[in-house]
Structure 1
Amino acid sequence: MAFNYHPELLRPYLALSQGTSIQAEYVWIDGDNELRSKSRTITHRVTNLSQLPNWDFDGSSTNQAPGHDSDISLRPVAFYKDPFRGGDNILVLATTYNSDGTPNKTNFRHSAAKTMELAKDAAPWFGLEQEYTLFDLDGKPFGWPKGGFPGPQGPYYCGAGAGKVVARDLIEAHYRACLYAGIRISGINAEVMPSQWEFQVGPCEGISMGDELWLARYLLVRVAEQWGVKVSFHPKPLQGDWNGAGCHTNYSTKQMREPGGIQAINVAIEKLSKRHDEHIAVYGEDNDLRLTGRHETGHISSFSSGVANRGASIRVPRHVAEKGYGYLEDRRPASNIDPYRVTDIIVETTVLDK
């Protein structure tokens, strides 16, 4: 089923809007690392964050507050064009705060923003490679043979053609929705396991990396909603000889990106090696099921690095090693990470020397 994502198709309905009022969809992260949203009417066109009011919601229904003190505040931190409603309507990314003004226990953006401010002179850039798997409503990988399994892995990665690729129309719709919204999506590709895909966001500097990845995830689950397809960010969605799903994190500082930056890259790798366990602790739930040393992963219990080595914890791309500057790729983060936590600890370790 094709998804009619283009705003022009909504024009007859948008024409019913009166005055200058717009619809703002507030999006936030709940207590289970999932996304929630609700809509409100704004009586003016929004051009900056200061024009957006704070809001609240029932935190006892999202695993973010007890029933006797359930009001959790939503504070807007970024907004984007809404590809579903079109026009001047917007998607509002908001963070969560308790009634006493403290960050909610699930608000990892608060800490990450402080870290990025302290490290702003280093100009940390990120690019995240978000892998995910599509499932039908019965819990079976989308597009897999009924009552059976597809052939072994091999022809599916960056594949083309029936029997190799599924749901390309859904993936294309998500890609274009991101572009319309202004997300810095840099590409997509089919992954090694059938019904598994990847999109890449970046380069983004500092706190904007977490913002844009979360909004790109929201757009993905909203688009998949049109097909009745579920999106799984689990790092090992299927047991057996199938690849897991990661969120490889490409990272650099200004020093790494300049000629001779390979030295700064090597220093960063050495620092990362000394905090392996602390990084693994925030690199995603059930990541031990994925980081087995097989299927293009290093083992969760040990740190390793190498040039062009996809079985290492940290990969230095070959072209970076040859040029002598660029970036590194941390291959340990799982597909279900909170990007605020991952970008936070990487900058803490490599720039702030924590």
Structure 2
Amino acid sequence: MSTSTAYLLVSHGSHDPRPAQAMERLAQTVRLHLLQKQAPALPQRSLEKCLVPYRGRQSLGTTPLLFQTAEVQSQQLTLALERRQGKTSLGSDSPPDSPPKLLPEPLDKSDFSDWPLSVKPPLVGTACLEAGALPLHQQIIGFSRRAQAAGVETIRILPLFLLKGIHVTEDIPAEICLAQQAVPELTLALCPHLGSHPGLKALLQTKLHATTSESLLLLAHGSRKPGGNRPIHSLARALGGTAAFWAVAPNLETQIIELMQAGAQRLAILPYFLFAGRITDAITHVTEELAERFPSLGMHLLPPLGPSAELASLVTDLGLNRLPPKHSAPLPLQRKAFRHQVRSPLTF
């Protein structure tokens, strides 16, 4: 892995703070995975040391500077430049050339000179397509300029989307094109979206093995794009279950009724979403209502994927373009009876 490459994780974005917080945690874990790929012989303790900002540099909050969102990094860099030029009222009592009191200086190559065994930790940032104070292309520009100051030549942009919808095929590429015009000296490379990783199935299987339920509903957001939901139906079948969708038909209620008519007694519902947020809250509410309506059906609502080490490993594969080969046949999902029968009300 070249240290001249930085990585930007792009999510949908939300006004709920929880997805952004989860993205930051995921970025930290991805950075650790990248370091492990770069220096497999480096002791774990030294790798973890690389997660601490160099010389104590931090953002205005508690998130280390190197893991800030591209939006925040861009805003801070702009403010720092304005402070130097005397164009902002913040801290106007300080001379224009004095460094900001709270805002960090842009990174440069010397920031990485003291890392253990001369390992240069990669830059990993986060950005969002929607619900941000800045458009995505401006977030990309801000992150790219910071990375360029640290000697980076290539920015690999990873869409953390589970479906290959309009956001992945049109919106994000368009934003990257706009950003590329502002930083022509850098290479902005678009990576495959998260949902294309063949390892997602194994990750979901691991979550399902813990439930030991007899029936499964894989609940995804759903796409209105023709054929956009076929991968979800295929994934659900590979897991031994059925697909349901939040935004399009067939919805959760329809599929639950169909499974009950087929004789299902215990049901696991797996939300195919990255992180907890407003939609997963709404899913919980709807599922609780359905559990009250159908008390004979035991329901077990699982959490979304979350910023786990396993998910970070998949993101790292995409960033490094090192995808494992796809298996010709799906791995069988062995189901067992519940140790304790799960009945309504809803269990978590």
TM (norm. structure 1) is 0.24
Richer in strand (by share) = 1
Which of 1 and 2 has higher RCO (CA within 8 Å, sep 6+)?
2
TM (norm. structure 2) is 0.24
Richer in helix (by share) = 2
